[in-house]
Copies of this chain bind each other. A is one copy, B any other.
């Protein structure tokens, strides 16, 4: 277990301003516009914080939970970023997903009550612990909330489908373009630019996520910088023409 530490090279994506007082945790959360819990709190005035069982800071490189850990609460990212690391059937480790503010984590563990992957922070981050028991209880009495929660789960399912689609895509170029675009989309959802952002994961993580190797990612980036209207220097990404990237994905349809 790592202990909490200050890391200078990465600032949290967004720190809740300290000026608000007497407001619920959700109301000062940077993720309130995209978070399940936040959506709900805007809709119903009563104590939404009963869902929030607590909050937890996770230092960069530290893990919030591991494969096989008991699921006691779901987690919603308040700020920062995470990666999930799955053990594939041949025992290798693969980055399965990246999570940002507002993302809900642990839905796949509901089935058997245990987590299926390890969750590691890419930067200093904070999560809300959401009591699953409280969620199911609230679903029974608040149809609106039930609808939303099911939509969130359904969306997670769709996202996984999409990831499969990206992986099954033959060309590495296409996979990477897809990754850049959807990462931009995620930042946009949070109110940032979708064409200018920082990658918080390593090249190795990207390679693992895309089903390829570090070396290939490195060459890929060099080639993208040379041939396409993008600039990727270190972890800083500039997409000068998102339409171009999107269109060179859509080549043929058999």
Contact = CB atoms under 8 A, between A and B. Distances in A.
Interface of A: 86-94, 96, 107-111, 116-117, 136, 139-141, 143, 146-147, 150-158, 160-161, 163-170, 174, 178, 211, 249-254
What number of copies of this chain does the assembly contain? 2
Contacts of A156: 157
A155 B211 CA distance: 23
A151 B111 contact: yes
Given A139-B140, A143-B140, A168-B94, A108 B251 contact: no
Contacts of A94: 165, 168
Between A90, A116, A152, A178, the greatest number of chain B beta carbons within 10 A of the residue's beta carbon is seen for A90
Contacts of A153: 107, 110, 150, 153-154, 157
Contacts of A170: 211
A89 B165 contact: yes
Dominant SS among interface residues on chain A: helix
Given A96-B165, A164-B163, A250 B154 contact: no
Contact of A90 (B89, B90, B251): B251
A180 B161 CA distance: 21
A110 B146 CA distance: 12
Contact of A168 (B88, B136, B155, B254): B88
Given A150-B110, A168-B94, A158 B116 contact: yes
Contacts of A150: 110, 136, 153
6 contacts: A87-B253, A88-B168, A91-B250, A93-B253, A111-B152, A139-B146
A161 B93 contact: no
Between A87, A143, A160, A166, the greatest number of chain B beta carbons within 10 A of the residue's beta carbon is seen for A160
